[in-house]
A and B are shown apart, each in its own frame.
Chain A
């Protein structure tokens, strides 16, 4: 089995630390998404695994081979670049066949393999063209074809969809997922787009500020975010976070007492909870004055077609609520926000999630 392991990998460019001690274990046949905002170190992590950057400290293992000091060509990996990085003066067929050609695979075998992957990616009619004569989506397919033409130990993809337009991105998302599933190879996929990570990956590693925040399944990331960063980075619109106060009397949010079962309340007290997190779909707009609902005023209403996003200003902050498609209200209207506290999570002063949703 060829699992991939980052063992205390540290990377600094001069005085700038981009990755501090990353530990990551990726089992075989897993599609792992490295998710994070720009500058979080995700691309650097990928490039180090590819061998394009050298870690400042730590070890990289593919299977039980220590590849930390190996040249990229000796690591048995394939990579898809954000800019596609096709060879401009070669034809599509030559581009796809290059990894085989360089490995001195016999001509007949190489041609057969090129034809095979070209068919898989539906670019068999483009083989004689040059990259310049292709559209962005076609270039993307050629780059993918070049990666899958051999059977590497791992596929590395660096934001492969970010240069495509929105519609193409959606369809390629599904195609890449299917492709990776059918190849059964392990894939490391770097993205800043949480939708890509949630829809494609088996496992998501959320990164921020050069550190791993959480490694979990997409559902785990969404339902049980490890901290405030993960909670607000994943989800569209993101999780609402409001100040919460815990006293002997109980929990109160935006000046409204919230009824909480005794055991959860005890947890909140023990960890000195200061904030509550609530997904937009777990809150509802109700009539003003409904018992247990937060009092607020409509800030803005955004119809999305299939649903309506309602921004409501409450004491201590703002929160976004998903409402049904026909919802309408005027800015300034007084409303109530109702929610089931069982769906809420709570953060301690350090931003760590100390009480998860039930």
Chain B
């Protein structure tokens, strides 16, 4: 009987350490975060229980609404550009020619550089005194080029950084997808009369739909959480032109010490991402059922 009891308990005993770790680093902080989002803090202490007040306040906070709109614009622009560029590069690299392996390797280098390092590099490139653009402008007889000091240019600069860093991921996923497509339908289409453009529109795109959706979803969720590049490059400025939700949340929590409000903000951000992910999964499943 003793042996049987041990047999029953054994699986749970063996799972226990992993469950403990998950609980300690995931469940407990999440629970504490949710709890914090319903409290009002002052000087690091809870002074009142405010229920859902923090969540309600968010939607009348112009800074939050601005951060939401900046984030949405950033994500849309960056992911769209990365998808188109990644697809184009993948199409180009899906063929076999001399030097293709080297080219593919070079193309994925940006992805493997630490984001903070990328941001530092771009800060140097954009610098108004010693940066690349200023150097080119001076060589052509112009003056200093302000990029990070100009709201629109800084935002474009941020998008450019993200595109440079993450197009390779799109490229890699899409290339893998392209290379796993069956070849015969494309040969059949050539015989049936399709030119390169038609076979791209009629075959490649529909057949790539599931892979594309997954790539876009992954990148979108990831882009929503972008923090380190902005933190190093602009800290959200100039003004609030590059203040993403993550930066605004960081400021709220650590600069302004509004712990409860920041918690509510991040829970909201998490819910938005969850909703996007669910929507995307539905879209993908519909696409693959057909």
Contacts and interface: CB of A to CB of B under 8 A. Distances in A.
A102 to B, nearest CB: 4
A89 B207 contact: yes
B195 A73 contact: yes
A87 B185 contact: yes
A88 B191 contact: no
B288 to A, nearest CB: 10
Given A87-B203, A103-B193, A79 B188 contact: yes
B193 A73 contact: yes
A83 B206 CA distance: 20
Contacts of A73: 190-195
Contacts of A98: 189, 192, 194, 202
Nearest to B195: A73
Nearest to B184: A85
A52 B193 contact: no
A47 B213 CA distance: 35
Interface residues of B, number: 19
A88 B198 CA distance: 16
A318 B174 CA distance: 58
A52 B184 contact: no
A48 to B, nearest CB: 13
Interface in A88-102: 88-90, 98-99, 102
A78 B191 CA distance: 6
A156 B198 CA distance: 22
B290 interface: yes
Interface in B171-218: 182, 184-185, 187-195, 198, 202-203, 206-207, 209
Contact of B190 (A51, A84, A87): A51
Contacts of A81: 184, 187-188
B193 A89 contact: no
Contacts, number: 66
Contacts of A79: 187-188, 191
A88 B192 contact: no
B205 to A, nearest CB: 9
B187 A85 contact: yes
B184 A83 contact: yes
A50 interface: yes
A146 interface: yes
Given A73-B195, A102-B198, A130-B290, A88 B185 contact: yes
Contacts of B207: 88-89
Interface string B211-232: 0000000000000000000000
Contacts of A156: 191
A81 to B, nearest CB: 5
A86 interface: yes
Contacts of B198: 102
Contact of A87 (B193, B195, B202, B290): B202
Given A85-B185, A102-B198, A72 B191 contact: yes
Interface string A210-241: 00000000000000000000000000000000
A164 B128 CA distance: 70
Contact of A77 (B191, B203, B290): B191
Nearest to A74: B193
A45 to B, nearest CB: 15
A271 B84 CA distance: 71
A81 B182 CA distance: 13
Interface of B: 182, 184-185, 187-195, 198, 202-203, 206-207, 209, 290
Given A89-B206, A89-B290, A98-B194, 18 more contacts: A51-B190, A52-B191, A72-B190, A73-B191, A73-B193, A77-B191, A78-B191, A83-B184, A84-B184, A85-B185, A86-B185, A86-B188, A87-B203, A88-B185, A90-B206, A98-B189, A99-B192, A103-B193
Interface of A: 50-52, 71-73, 77-79, 81, 83-90, 98-99, 102-103, 130, 146, 156
29 contacts: A50-B191, A51-B190, A51-B191, A52-B187, A71-B190, A72-B187, A72-B191, A73-B192, A73-B195, A77-B191, A78-B191, A78-B192, A79-B187, A79-B188, A81-B184, A81-B188, A84-B184, A85-B185, A85-B188, A86-B185, A87-B188, A87-B202, A89-B209, A89-B290, A90-B202, A98-B189, A102-B192, A102-B193, A102-B198
In the complex, the 7 A-B pairs of residues with the closest C-beta atoms, listed nearest first: A85-B184, A85-B188, A89-B206, A99-B192, A73-B193, A102-B193, A72-B190
